[in-house]
Structure 1
């Protein structure tokens, strides 16, 4: 999606790969495996330092878990970049994955069609966390945040990259540009 938007990207597999980045997207995947790889590649400290620079960072699904202050049932540290508590895989197993149309005022226009795959639930947010979008959990009888922002860090419990809707990616790129960084545009 980012390449389609004219952004130069690169994968981060070492601390060296973080040098010169305008922003960072921490992707989805299985969170325990993701954290184990961060540990094996010795990325916790460098990614944490990158986040602390104030550079824009976006975590999707497992990336949201890694950015949270606290994540249930995770035997690895988190980066504590977002003042929130996460319940891992709280929407259920793979078979319980779902799609939902979300109202996201920051994106304007039509609802955003979101794809949730073994998504985390945001159990609580601190006072500095802006809830950008929520979905209704009828079983729990409450709305649950699924997109949040705290300063230059955003996180989504769903996968915007699995749709053709560019708005969340454009929102992140605008965040990068407004931070004084170039967003890697060609």
Structure 2
């Protein structure tokens, strides 16, 4: 008899949280939508979905989620940020232009992320992506996507698009520039579930 899958949360403030929740439930994981600090209780992992990062920052301020999310990670919780969620996890965030304002982040992944690195919504695209540990390329959907421009030595870069790192892991933190929840391919969600202690 296999061990039960730990309970996973999806930050449900804005963005593609329903798609992540559906994919995780399809893999047999019990899922809770997280909007308030108390919603983190009893979770082994949390997905920070894609969406609009500045809106997510405003809502995280409103619901006082910054310290509880850092505490969740410090207590052993795994985190996965996709697109805007990856921006929220980064140690440093830069804009698409030098004039763009600084953006707060959780600082839990020792990388620098550049927002909107691939341009506007009209420049969105899907491409097969070679991912370390996967035998077949992953169909990566990039929508106003960020890129990782700097990664600390202990950050494992799992995928690149051209010269840019777009999937990286450091301990219990995973970040992807693209939207795995918008494809039928569940392998990255399986990877995240495998990170849960």
In structure 1, the partner of 2:87 is: 65
Task: Select which of 157, 166, 170 maps to 2:190.
Answer: 170
In structure 1, the partner of 2:105 is: 78
Matched, 1:89 2:116: yes
Task: Select which of 106, 111, 123 maps to 2:149.
Answer: 123
**Deviation at 1:55?**
1.6
Task: Select which of 96, 102, 112 maps to 2:129.
Answer: 102
Query: Unpaired runs of 5+ in structure 2?
Result: 1-22, 96-100
Task: Select which of 30, 37, 41 maps to 2:52.
Answer: 30
Output the CA distance in 2 between the equivalents of 1:125 and 1:53: 24
SS in 2 for 1:17: helix
SS in 2 for 1:90: coil
Aligned residues: 170
TM-score by length of 2: 0.84
Closer, same or farther: CA 75–39 of 1 in aligned 2, 3 Å: farther
SS in 1 for 2:87: helix
Query: Unpaired runs of 5+ in structure 1?
Result: 137-142, 180-186
Output the CA distance in 1 between the equivalents of 2:110 and 2:76: 15
Output the CA distance in 1 between the equivalents of 2:156 and 2:75: 20
In structure 2, the partner of 1:152 is: 172
In structure 1, the partner of 2:43 is: 21
The runs of at least 4 consecutive aligned structure 1 residues that moved more than 4 Å come to none
Bigger relative contact order (CA 8 A; separation at least 6): 1
**Deviation at 1:90?**
1.2
